[in-house]
Structure 1
Amino acid sequence: MATVERIPKKFFEYITGSSGICEIRVEASSNIYRVFCFFYKGHLVILINGFQKKLRKHLKKKLN
């Protein structure tokens, strides 16, 4: 765990076309998780929904 000035885009990104909804990406062991959130009053992060991602995109492309 470390303190950083700016979170890399790989882990945190605003959803295009939304009004302030963000996606947090977490990798733990071989699992990938996504959590949607937004900032409340600039400092408080409100978590909306989360899920475990089952397949990676590049694997899906290989199957097609």
Structure 2
Amino acid sequence: MRADIQGALDQIDRSWKAFEHKGQPMQKHQVKAVLEYGLKQGYKHTGELLDSEVDKVLINL
């Protein structure tokens, strides 16, 4: 998925349901944490996030 990070954050109450990682659905707080991480890295869309980065964020929750 290549969702706009800022747009997904702006619509987090609806957008989080569309996110999954490694075939598993994500919870809202997980999606928010990953999107905030991506924004801090300067990424524009979720396609720029590596699975290893998402794993790192999720482990630290």
With normalisation by structure 1, the TM-score equals 0.24
Structure (1/2) with the larger helix percentage: 2
Pick 1 or 2: higher relative contact order, CA cutoff 8 A, min separation 6.
2
- Rg comparison, structure with higher value: 1
Bigger proportion of residues as strand: 1
Q: Normalising to structure 2: TM-score of the pair?
A: 0.24
